[in-house]
């Protein structure tokens, strides 16, 4: 009998927050819990076999983004990866955007270096012209020619709340032209969009297994070879010297193996198409409702598969209230990024709109009513119909 997640009769549409383990991933995990328990640093056969499985997973993951295996370093997740970027790179100017995840924004601020916040348009896109201007101004031929800056550009590939997909290839070309380090938080895009670190001139990326039906507590940072001599000697966690000394601690072998499996499943073109189709179908159903507004990119083709961010203007509920109403009816969605909801205190929890929507200059009235529906290949059309029925009744 295939082992499966139990959704307890709930419809789960919160796949940008996290995902359920895929059945094949559970099987891989259970098998590896039983057989791959040895410490990969041990010199005996079982240890060597665990080490070999880690290296196979590393190679698979590296190939999927056109990186080399020695450019992938496993760690506890994307929060750690993003922190690692800001705590180990050498820079004195950060260029980033206000719609980044908190695990980019907070370490950027904590670095006490100068930050330039790029403007976003209503769909959440940065302006490449603005990026080029600020890069040019701060380099040898610009206004700061006397003291050019060492620049770190950090722009996420796909936004977790509104599904905006940035043109990382164009950003990478600009970073190369102006000799800036280019980091991208690829948590929401890994396995769902094509990533080619060489083609996009990426120096660093952050990724996490639990957004693509893999286990929680495991991610990786990709560090381009050319940057390694400046970064690897600045490890944040030292000790046993695992991950070539960059991230000490006995490796999370089972989750590493499961991450590669989850990625393999995600890369399946049928699954990717299914998510896009479900997204289109749900929007076709819901857009007929009175006063519904789609926040973020209006052209679904340019939007991260599975993401819909909607404001129902005729409903008397604000975002959180609507999330609770849907939960009462067995549907899990969210009002924004799961990580920021931990930060709200009781006073403002029912009044503050998403910082991402605010950064995109979305009217406060609309932003306060926004909910995020995030689908995965595990969802099906019956679930879309159920949600449409529930929302139609509420409206
Ligand atoms: N970056 C983005 C865009 C995310 O959506 C998340 C998770 O919510 C993270 C970073 C943090 O990832 P992790 O949960 O692996 O620390």
Residue partners of 171: CB distance under 8 A and separation at least 6 = 126, 128, 131, 153, 155, 182, 184, 200
Q: What is the pLDDT of residue 350?
A: 44
Could you give the C-alpha distances from 6 to 9, 116, 245, in angstroms and in order?
Answer: 8, 45, 39
CA neighbor of 131 nearest in space, from 101, 99, 95, 156:
95
Q: Span 8-30, mean pLDDT?
A: 97
Distance (Å) from CA 308 to ligand 1 centroid: 18
pLDDT digits (tens, 9 = 90+) for 33-84: 999 999 999 999 999 999 999 999 999 999 999 999 999 999 999 999 999 9
The CATH label, of 3.90.1150.10, 3.30.160.70, 3.40.640.10, 3.40.50.9100, for the domain at 2-21+269-394 is 3.90.1150.10
Pocket of ligand 1 (CB under 6 A): 77-79, 101, 103, 156, 160, 185, 187-188, 208, 219, 338-339
Q: What is the pLDDT of residue 346?
A: 43
Indicate the DSSP class of residue 120. Answer: B
Q: What is the pLDDT of residue 152?
A: 98
Closest protein CA for atom 10 of ligand 1:
78
pLDDT band of 141, cuts 50, 70, 90 = confident
Helix (H, G, I), strand (E, B) or coil at 184: strand
Into which CATH architecture does domain 23-266 fall? 3-Layer(aba) Sandwich (3.40)
Q: Which of 186, 332, 339, 360 is catalytic?
A: 339
Q: Span 338-346, mean pLDDT?
A: 49
Q: What average pLDDT is seen over the chain?
A: 94
In ligand 1, which atom is closest to the CA atom of 158?
3
What is the rounded CA–CA span in Å between residue 308 and residue 281? 11
pLDDT digits (tens, 9 = 90+) for 252-298: 999 999 999 999 999 999 999 999 999 999 999 999 988 999 999 99
pLDDT at 338 exceeding the cut of 60: no
Instruction: Mark whether 332 is an active-site residue.
Output: no
CA neighbor of 147 nearest in space, from 114, 186, 117:
114
Q: Span 122-136, mean pLDDT?
A: 97
Per-domain residue ranges of the chain:
2-21+269-394, 23-266
End-to-end CA distance of the chain: 42
**What value, to the nearest 5°, has the Cα angle with vertex 66 and ends 60 and 69?**
50
Could you tell which of 105, 208, 309 is best to mutate to test the pocket of ligand 1, judged by most ligand atoms within 8 Å of the CB? 208
Q: Span 7-25, mean pLDDT?
A: 96
Distance (Å) from CA 211 to ligand 1 centroid: 8
Closest protein CA for atom 12 of ligand 1:
78
Q: Same CATH topology for 2-21+269-394 and 23-266?
A: no
């Amino acid at each position: 009998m295939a082992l499966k997640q139990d959704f307890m009769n709930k419809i789960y549409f919160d796949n940008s927050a996290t995902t359920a383990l895929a059945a094949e991933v559970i099987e891989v995990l259970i098998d590896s819990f039983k057989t791959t328990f040895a410490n990969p640093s041990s010199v005996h056969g079982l240890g060597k076999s665990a080490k070999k499985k880690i290296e196979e997973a590393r190679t698979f993951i590296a190939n999927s983004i056109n990186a080399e295996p020695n450019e992938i370093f496993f760690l506890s997740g994307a929060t750690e990866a993003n922190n690692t970027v800001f705590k180990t790179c050498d820079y004195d100017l950060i260029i980033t955007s206000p719609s980044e995840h908190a695990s980019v924004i907070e370490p950027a601020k904590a670095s006490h270096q100068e930050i330039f916040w790029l403007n976003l348009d209503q769909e959440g896109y940065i302006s490449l012209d603005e990026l080029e201007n600020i890069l040019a101004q701060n380099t040898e031929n610009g206004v700061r020619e006397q003291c050019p800056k060492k620049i770190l550009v950090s722009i996420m590939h796909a936004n977790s709340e509104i599904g905006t997909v940035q043109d990382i290839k164009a950003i990478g070309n600009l970073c190369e032209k102006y000799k800036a380090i280019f980091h991208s938080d690829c948590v929401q895009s890994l396995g769902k969009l094509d990533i080619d670190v060489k083609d996009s001139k990426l120096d660093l990326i952050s990724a996490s297994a639990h957004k693509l039906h893999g286990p929680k507590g495991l991610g990786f940072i990709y560090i381009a070879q050319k940057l390694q001599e400046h970064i690897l000697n600045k490890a944040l966690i030292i000790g046993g010297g695992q991950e070539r000394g960059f991230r000490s601690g006995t490796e999370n072998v089972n989750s590493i193996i499961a991450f590669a499996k989850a990625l393999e499943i995600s890369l399946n073109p049928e699954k990717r198409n299914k998510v896009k189709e479900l997204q289109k179908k749900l929007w076709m159903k819901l857009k007929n409702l009175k006063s519904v507004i789609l926040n973020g990119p209006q052209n679904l083709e340019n939007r991260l598969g599975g993401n819909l961010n909607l404001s129902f203007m005729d409903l008397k509920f604000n975002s959180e209230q609507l999330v609770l109403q849907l939960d009462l009816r067995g549907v899990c969605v969210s009002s924004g990024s799961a990580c920021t909801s931990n930060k709200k205190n009781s006073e403002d929890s029912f009044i503050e709109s998403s910082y991402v929507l605010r950064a995109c200059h979305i009217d406060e009235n609309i932003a306060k009513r926004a909910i995020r529906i995030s689908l995965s290949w595990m969802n099906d059309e019956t679930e879309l119909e159920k949600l449409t029925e529930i929302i139609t009744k509420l409206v």
